Structure 1
């Protein structure tokens, strides 16, 4: 998950301002969100199907799907996480972390996934440049075609999530659904920050809520803490993911667009 500036988007109405945005308490007071139809784990990922989580940046998989991952691994189900980029664009070049970000973020993801029950082999890295997923769509789709199976269930950011990398990955996953027969389930991530509870642009009719057990919820919280480069200050700079953003991802449920 990377922050977005005005020059990064052609949709000003979905512009992500990291310092502002819809607070989590507004979502919690939303009748529509609280009344979402529940979905069972077996409906999202039937037995014998593999869950493939497409993360534009390391941490997106945990923020959007950490509870799903933890619930599946608790049942011994097969899960693969694909890091499309290494997230090397999260910090400015003057940061002392900048040169080491690809390995730092991969290490953070591996640590987070262990809290969710996954070993290192379940994390695959494509290495597409951070912020350039749209320009590298042919490469991304080629990589996916070579590795996906028709019975896979794809989890990717919603195609209108607000960040160009998120949306590009969502569109690539949609094409794989059409070409290969993989079922796509979309995950709102930045949506919770820029959208509003009464926002008609959200596909509420497709939204479903997956309840998390207390142990899975706790493991997701522990996994989120592994992303030190994103949630901590960097030489006086504000965190990439401040508390007001992280608050959207500590709910006792996760939302998916079916």
Structure 2
């Protein structure tokens, strides 16, 4: 379901005052090998599970799009320029995380993901039991949800383990929101080194966290009130 991603959304102070996350069971960190992390756009994987990636030390990345539509009316960069910038930002973020793995660039259109093609591409990268981390199917952004559905199909076909991470859910949802599967939430507590690595990786995306220029069309996609949600000492997945 597409959700309006506008305004301030639910504040991080509201989320931090909610006691439920303290009761969520921890995710057992026992993958059979490097997980496959699926990112609809460059930075989704960093916002959602960079801390987990840092703890594990290894992961392969399926970069579904190059994020060329992040600023569709930009007066500063063309879509092609934005794609190149965001590819470079991903490489730098992974370098800062010190992650061993391969980046698979799937070349889909930002804002126009072909789910059938994506499911087929992901199935080629998955094996029985392998962890597949992907944006939650109810996250509210159409590309996030399409990627989640495609990954769910690929996992069902291959026997891989589906683990979904919320990104924009923290904006539109609220504590105890009945539209969110809190009963499936698993918590990943991050040691200080992983928290620092995640912060450094997020900072590798200036095209998203800083304005490209003075026009409204070039405003930051991830201003401070959004970034605050990803500075927690834990991450969440839905299992």
TM-score > 0.5 by shorter chain = yes
Q: Say whether 1:118 aligns with 2:99.
A: yes
In structure 2, distance between residues paired with 1:252 and 1:91: 30
Secondary structure at the counterpart of residue 111 of structure 2: coil
Q: Say whether 1:55 aligns with 2:36.
A: no
In structure 2, distance between residues paired with 1:171 and 1:234: 32
In structure 2, which of residues 125, 136, 157 is the aligned counterpart of residue 179 of structure 1? 157
Residues 48-197 of structure 1 mapped to structure 2, 5 A cutoff: 48-73=32-57, 78-98=58-78, 99-118=80-99, 122-133=102-113, 136-197=114-175
List runs of 5+ in structure 2 lacking aligned partners: none
In structure 1, distance between residues paired with 2:162 and 2:51: 18
Cα root mean square deviation, aligned: 1.4
List runs of 5+ in structure 1 lacking aligned partners: 1-9
In structure 1, distance between residues paired with 2:178 and 2:119: 31
1:101-128 CA-to-partner distances (Å, cap 9, x unmatched) read: 1111010011001111125x62221110
Aligned to 1:249: 230
Return the offset for 1:93: 4.0
Aligned to 1:7: none
Aligned to 2:4: 15
Return the offset for 1:176: 1.1
Q: Is the 8 A contact 1:28 1:34 kept in 2?
A: no
In structure 1, distance between residues paired with 2:163 and 2:176: 22
Secondary structure at the counterpart of residue 188 of structure 2: strand
Return the offset for 1:83: 0.8
Aligned to 1:4: none
In structure 2, distance between residues paired with 1:203 and 1:144: 24
Q: Is the 8 A contact 1:54 1:156 kept in 2?
A: yes
In structure 1, distance between residues paired with 2:227 and 2:235: 13
Q: Is the 8 A contact 2:208 2:222 kept in 1?
A: yes
Secondary structure at the counterpart of residue 108 of structure 2: coil
Secondary structure at the counterpart of residue 106 of structure 1: helix
Residues 7-46 of structure 1 mapped to structure 2, 5 A cutoff: 11=2, 14-17=3-6, 19-42=7-30, 45=31
Secondary structure at the counterpart of residue 179 of structure 1: helix
1:109-158 CA-to-partner distances (Å, cap 9, x unmatched) read: 11001111125x6222111000011xx11221221222222232100111
Count of residues in correspondence between the two structures: 235
